[in-house]
Amino acid sequence: MQIIKSAVAAALATLALSASAMTPIQDAELSTVSGQDGVSIAANLNIKIDSFVYTDTDVVDANGLGGGSVSFNGIKINGLIAASIDILSRNSFLQAAGAAGVTNPGTFYNAASGGDVVQIAIPADVQVAAGKLLNMSVDAIKMGNSTASYGSMAMNQIDLRGTQVWIWAH
């Protein structure tokens, strides 16, 4: 009985290994395969930053000028965002930049020999429920070590749809 169990186990193991073996695909078969390139990212943001502090490092002069700091406290960002990441060839990038209104890409990109470009885009047609676009708020804006605040600020319903960002090496 033990020999039969061992034989069955060996046969099943062999069958499992042969089922997962890779097989070559011919060019004719490969031409019928299609896929999609790029990466899509969607996020429901809920970001909280305790503070953002800017400090002027100039030395305080005899008149008391220079130095100082300002802090933005209780920063919150929330809302929905969706983006896609694609690699564009030189020609595709130049076409996309032109469609975006760039009239002379040669001022920042070598149109003759530039390489591929990473494009991060927030699609213009993304549907977002009312009130769910990005919101940003700052609870308090303070100078130096003061406990007094200039007040707060908020930017509500920030709509980034249709935005494109391009990144390349040079």
What CA–CA distance (Å, rounded) separates 150 from 142? Answer: 6
* Parts of the chain with a pLDDT under 50: 15-18
Query: What is the number of helices (H) and of strands (E) in the chain?
Result: 3, 6
pLDDT of residue 94: 94
Provide the pLDDT for residue 64. Answer: 81
Summarised one tens digit per residue, pLDDT across range 111-152 is 899 999 999 999 888 888 888 999 999 999 999 878 899 899
Match 């076409």 to its residue by tokens. Answer: 95
* pLDDT at position 37: 67
> Of 53, 71, 64, which Cα lies nearest the Cα of 148?
71
pLDDT given for residue 58 in this prediction: 84
pLDDT of 146: 86
Say what the pLDDT of residue 26 is. Answer: 73
Is 97 exposed, middle or buried (CB count within 10 Å of its CB: 0-12, 13-18, 19+)? buried
pLDDT of residue 2: 58
| CA 89 – CA 66 distance, rounded (Å) | 48
Q: In this structure, what token pair is assigned to residue 57?
A: 């490092």
- The pLDDT value recorded for residue 30 is 64
What is residue 51's predicted lDDT score, i.e. its pLDDT? 94
β-sheet bridge partners, residue 138: 75, 153
* 94 sits in which H/E element: helix 90-99
Q: Output helix, strand, coil percentages for the chain, rounded to the nearest 5.
A: 20, 35, 45
Work out whether the CA dihedral 94, 100, 101, 104 comes out positive or negative.
negative
Beta-carbon contacts of residue 21 (< 8 Å; ≥ 6 apart): none
- Is 46 in contact with 125 (CB distance < 8 Å)? no
